[in-house]
Homo-oligomer: A and B are copies of this chain.
Amino acid sequence: MLVTLDHDRIRELRLDRPPVNALNPALLLRLRVALEEARRDGCRGVVLSGSPGCFSGGLDIPELLRLGRAEMTATWGSLFALLRALATSEIPVAAALTGHSPAGGTVLAIHADYRIMAEGPFRLGLNEVQVGLPLPEVIFRTLQHVVGERQAERLAVGGLLVEPAEALRVGLVDEVVGVADVIPRALAWMTELLSRPAAAMAGTRAMARRSLRQGFDALDPALIEDVVDQWFSAETQAVMHALAERLGKRRPAG
């Protein structure tokens, strides 16, 4: 479900869980372990990529709907741990958004250092509200860091999915390039960043991303309980089951 490719000392972690690289508990854990391994193996940077046309469809709703409360609590805990690992990674991470990246796909991306989006009929955004889930606050804080207070409000409250050009305009991504160029550009960007004097770059990076770290340090376990409460609320379950049913008709269950 995750392919590892080393380009000199930059490690590419390529999501590979057909059909849409949906994030289930196993993949969330695998990603977190892979980030830890990259650091331990002496890699100097990570590129998180996906399949041509699809970075990630987000959380695997059909699979998650089968989980009970304890399992969902563990799953949200695992997602937040992964986001924390991305946001506070000692080595920089570039998101190579090779295609569709709704919800969880965009959530992963905003916790990286840099985002390159594929040009084309692809959408990205934090559409959690559209699927009945309030955006968890720690994720919203990262979104504010990336796009500022006003665009964070507009994008999150409406649960908007936007096209690449609009994502670029509001700063949700840093570059838009052709699908085939997304991974090469991410590698080139990382290579240039790693050409900087190492201590100066690392020190400045830690300072610039400190507010993200503080957001995760302040994450109260009670907030995870709130998110799980919301997940099991009547509204959210109704919207999610309707969504899962539509997905089930279009493609094999994730």
Contacts and interface: CB of A to CB of B under 8 A. Distances in A.
A107 to B, nearest CB: 14
A228 interface: no
Interface of A is mostly: helix
Contacts of A158: 192-193, 196, 201
B239 A197 contact: yes
A145 interface: yes
B150 A197 contact: no
Contact of A159 (B150, B171, B196): B196
A200 B236 contact: yes
A5 B130 CA distance: 28
Contacts of A152: 208
B235 A200 contact: yes
Interface string A34-76: 0000000000000000000000000000000000000000000
Nearest to A170: B171
Interface in A86-125: 113-114
A200 B133 contact: yes
Interface in A183-204: 192-193, 196-201, 203-204
Given A135-B204, A149-B145, A197 B156 contact: no
A73 B144 CA distance: 36
Contacts of A149: 144-146, 148, 208, 211
B199 A233 contact: yes
A132 interface: yes
A129 B236 contact: no
A7 B113 CA distance: 45
A146 B148 CA distance: 9
A166 to B, nearest CB: 12
Contacts of A207: 134-135, 137, 140
Interface of A: 113-114, 128-135, 137, 140, 144-154, 156-159, 171, 174, 192-193, 196-201, 203-205, 207-209, 211, 230, 233, 235-236, 239
The list of the 9 closest CB pairs from A to B, nearest first, reads: A134-B203, A153-B208, A132-B197, A129-B200, A157-B205, A134-B204, A134-B200, A199-B235, A132-B200
